[in-house]
């Protein structure tokens, strides 16, 4: 490298800088783009997994709602199956099972009949089981007429939903317990994204897998394209730089020849360069002429100054003796100052440590106060929510009380109707008695109507009594709820006052923390300053010691300086300055 010319060094430097830039760009792009692509793809795939989860939950909820609300007769089983989208629909009525084909075997029918006999009032969802098309599950609903409907849902259609919403470079797996309903997982370099799917009393697991090999492949491809573009740009820049450097160095080569001729002369400082241009090369030539001119004047001054050095050397020798005495006294005073500064530094360090400890304690107190504020905030929110709930319950109870009053009115009307019915039945019995044997059957019916009217009057009386008790109870509940609401509001007011007190405590702790921090900072700065002063004083002491030690050599140095002055005069005499 030392044998290269300055021009070639510049070219080599440009090549090295471009090479380093390309290498740095390659590794930087590989790092940042890889991370960006991974984060972007991971975010996109995670979003798609959430979409798949929402779609599956919506689809299952729709199927549950459809199975619960769908009501059909034995004659409409085939139509219900076609409209609902279930793979199979079975209806069990009075111990008989019917499906959409109408030719269910006795063995298959008995399975559904047994399930219907053991069925409760709530909808039943069977676990996922193996079927001819893959996996399926059965929803069963008991109707008001004691019939039970069974709906078989094939889960193979979920595979198309997962495939439709799955992002490129990802895989998915859907499982229910130990049963894997769908999976297209491939490879091992995968990052899982798990999402639970909850519906009814079932719990499924949806796992999306991010293919890291695919992400790395995309990163390598993009990185190679960027590197190739950088290499092409680097080649163009190097080529243009070589041309421009060769053109720029032509005037410098001519200047080099002129300076070389001047340097091979006999020390004639009256010689000057010819300045023929006003560009940078001309400016350099003019500067060299000025330098030679100043050097010429300098040698003249040196020749004159050499004569004055001899006189100054004698004066320096006398002054050095006086300085030696002063330096010894200064050394003693410096040692005393260093001792005092070290004591001051120790005191400042102790103050700084105490202030740091106080700052940590106030910081802990501030954190506890903030936690208390958060707890009180939560309590305020809870009390306000309780107030709203109590108000809502009070309103609902008042509404229920009004409804009981309306029911009492309706029961009064029913009682009046029963009384009229009793009178009509009595008149009918009288007319039937007048009719003799021909009205005997009509008399029996009239007696039954009178008995039914009497029972109706008794029932309405009992219901009125129960409604009176219920209305009294609801009035008491409304009063208690109003008292509870007022108590909750008072509690919310008290917690607000506690919050104000905590805010004042927090503000005071923050001010204490700021004061402690200021004290610690000041003490630390004082300790640093005293340390620096101590170091400087020690350095001064060392300098004084060296000056004191060197003072003894001043006389010999002055003698050597006198001899050097003579040599300097002889050297200046070799140059032509006039």
pLDDT category at 467 given cuts 50, 70, 90 is confident
Torsion sign, CA atoms 159, 160, 164, 168: positive
Let me know: does 282 contact 251? Beta carbons within 8 Å.
Answer: no
CATH 3.30.450 domain position(s) in the chain: 35-213
Let me know: does 423 contact 531? Beta carbons within 8 Å.
Answer: no
The whole-angstrom separation of Cα 418 and Cα 460 is 10
Would you state the pLDDT for residue 422?
72
Would you state the pLDDT for residue 474?
74
SS (H, E, C) 5-32: CHHHHHHHHHHHHHHHHHHHHHHHHHHH
The whole-angstrom separation of Cα 284 and Cα 472 is 114
Q: What is the DSSP letter of 126?
A: P
Residue 234 has pLDDT above 80, yes or no: yes
List C-alpha distances in Å: 460 to 59, 407, 415: 49, 10, 6
Indicate the SS3 state at residue 406: helix
More confident residue, 108 or 390: 108
φ, ψ for residue 203 (rounded to 5)? -135, 115
HSE, side-chain direction, 13 A CA sphere, residue 103: 0
Using one digit for the tens of pLDDT, what is the confidence trace for 141-191?
998 888 899 998 888 888 888 887 777 778 888 888 888 888 888 878 888
Residue 106 has pLDDT above 80, yes or no: yes
Residues 6+ apart with CB under 8 A from 247: none
Tokens of 205: 């697991």
Which of 189, 169, 173 lies closest to 181, judged by CA?
A: 173
Tokens of 432: 């039937």
Would you state the pLDDT for residue 336?
75
Residue 381 has pLDDT above 80, yes or no: no
Residue 551 has pLDDT above 70, yes or no: no
Q: What's the predicted TM-score (pTM) here?
A: 0.39
Torsion sign, CA atoms 254, 255, 257, 261: positive
pLDDT category at 555 given cuts 50, 70, 90 is low
pLDDT category at 363 given cuts 50, 70, 90 is confident
Would you state the pLDDT for residue 49?
84
Would you state the pLDDT for residue 177?
81
Q: Which fold has domain 300-573?
A: Helix Hairpins (1.10.287)
Would you state the pLDDT for residue 370?
75
Let me know: does 254 contact 231? Beta carbons within 8 Å.
Answer: no
pLDDT category at 355 given cuts 50, 70, 90 is low
Using one digit for the tens of pLDDT, what is the confidence trace for 259-272?
665 565 455 666 66
The highest-confidence range among 165-174, 423-432, 441-450, by mean pLDDT, is 165-174
Residue 252 has pLDDT above 70, yes or no: no
The highest-confidence range among 2-16, 68-82, 298-312, 407-421, by mean pLDDT, is 68-82
pLDDT category at 248 given cuts 50, 70, 90 is low
Would you state the pLDDT for residue 249?
67
CATH 1.10.287.950 domain position(s) in the chain: 300-573
CB-CB neighbours of 242 under 10 Å: 16
* Paired strand residues for 209: 171, 192
Residue 510 has pLDDT above 60, yes or no: yes
Q: What is the DSSP letter of 268?
A: B
Region 24-34: mean pLDDT is 72
Length of the chain equals: 578
DSSP symbols for 460-520: HHHHHHHHHHHHHHHHHHHHHHHHHHHHHHHHHHHHHHHHHHHHHHHHHHHHHHHHHHHHH
Would you state the pLDDT for residue 427?
79
Tokens of 67: 């199975």
Would you state the pLDDT for residue 191?
83
φ, ψ for residue 576 (rounded to 5)? -90, 110
Residue 1 has pLDDT above 60, yes or no: no
The highest-confidence range among 32-41, 95-104, 545-554, by mean pLDDT, is 95-104
Would you state the pLDDT for residue 348?
67
The highest-confidence range among 184-188, 336-340, 417-421, by mean pLDDT, is 184-188
Give the position of tokens 């005092």.
Answer: 340
Using one digit for the tens of pLDDT, what is the confidence trace for 5-20?
777 778 888 888 888 8
Region 473-501: mean pLDDT is 75
Tokens of 54: 């929402």
Architecture field, domain 35-213: 2-Layer Sandwich (3.30)
Kindly report the average pLDDT of the chain as a whole number: 77
Using one digit for the tens of pLDDT, what is the confidence trace for 291-324?
777 877 777 777 777 777 767 777 776 777 677 6
List C-alpha distances in Å: 473 to 398, 479, 480, 556: 11, 10, 11, 122
CA–centroid distance for 199 within its chain: 30
């Amino acid at each position: 490298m030392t044998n290269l010319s300055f021009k070639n060094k510049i070219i080599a430097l440009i090549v090295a800088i471009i090479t380093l830039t390309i290498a740095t760009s390659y590794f930087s792009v590989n790092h940042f783009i890889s991370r960006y692509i991974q984060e972007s793809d991971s975010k996109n795939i995670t979003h798609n997994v959430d979409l798949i989860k929402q779609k599956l939950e919506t689809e299952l909820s729709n199927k549950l709602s459809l199975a619960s609300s769908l009501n059909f007769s034995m004659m409409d089983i085939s139509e219900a199956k076609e409209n609902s989208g279930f793979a199979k629909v079975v209806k069990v009525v009075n111990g008989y099972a019917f499906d959409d084909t109408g030719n269910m075997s006795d063995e298959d029918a008995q399975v559904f009949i047994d399930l219907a006999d053991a069925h409760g009032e709530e909808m039943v969802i069977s676990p996922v089981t193996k079927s001819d098309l893959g996996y399926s599950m059965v929803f069963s609903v008991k109707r008001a007429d004691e019939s039970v409907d069974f709906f078989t849902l094939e889960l193979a259609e979920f595979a198309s939903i997962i495939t439709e919403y799955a992002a490129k470079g990802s895989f998915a797996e859907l499982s229910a317990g130990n049963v894997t309903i769908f999976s297209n997982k491939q490879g091992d370099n995968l990052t899982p994204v798990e999402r639970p799917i909850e519906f009814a009393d079932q719990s499924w697991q949806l796992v999306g897998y991010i293919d890291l090999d695919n992400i790395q492949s995309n990163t390598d491809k993009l990185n190679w394209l960027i590197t190739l573009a950088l290499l092409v740009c680097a080649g163009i820049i190097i080529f243009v730089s070589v041309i421009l450097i060769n053109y720029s160095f032509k005037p410098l080569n001519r200047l080099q020849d002129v300076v070389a001729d001047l340097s091979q002369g006999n020390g004639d400082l009256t010689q000057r360069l010819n300045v023929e241009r006003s560009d940078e090369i001309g400016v350099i030539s003019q500067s060299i002429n000025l330098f030679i001119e100043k050097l010429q004047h300098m040698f003249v001054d040196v020749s004159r100054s050499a004569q004055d050095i001899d006189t100054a050397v004698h004066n320096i020798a006398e002054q050095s003796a006086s300085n030696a005495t002063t330096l010894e006294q200064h050394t003693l005073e410096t040692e005393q100052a260093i001792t005092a500064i070290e004591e001051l530094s120790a005191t400042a360090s102790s103050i700084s440590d105490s202030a740091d400890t106080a700052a940590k304690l106030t910081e802990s107190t501030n954190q506890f106060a903030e936690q208390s504020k958060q707890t009180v905030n939560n309590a305020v929110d809870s009390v306000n929510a309780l107030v709203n709930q109590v108000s809502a319950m009070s309103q609902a109870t008042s509404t229920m009380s009004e409804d009981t009053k309306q029911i009492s009115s309706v029961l009064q009307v029913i009682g009046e109707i029963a009384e009229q019915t009793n009178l009509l039945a009595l008149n009918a019995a009288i007319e039937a008695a007048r009719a003799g044997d021909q009205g005997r059957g009509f008399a029996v019916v009239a007696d039954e109507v009178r008995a039914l009217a009497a029972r109706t009057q008794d029932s309405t009386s009992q219901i009125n009594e129960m409604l009176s008790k219920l209305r009294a109870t609801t009035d008491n509940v409304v009063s208690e709820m109003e008292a509870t609401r007022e108590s909750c509001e008072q509690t919310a007011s008290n917690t607000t006052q506690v919050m104000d007190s905590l805010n004042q405590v927090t503000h005071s702790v923050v001010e204490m923390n700021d004061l402690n921090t200021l004290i610690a900072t000041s003490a630390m700065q004082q300790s640093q300053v005293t340390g620096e002063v101590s170091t400087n004083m020690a350095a001064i002491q060392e300098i004084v010691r060296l000056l004191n030690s060197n003072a003894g050599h001043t006389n010999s140095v002055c003698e050597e300086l006198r001899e050097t002055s003579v040599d300097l005069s002889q050297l200046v005499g070799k140059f032509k300055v006039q």
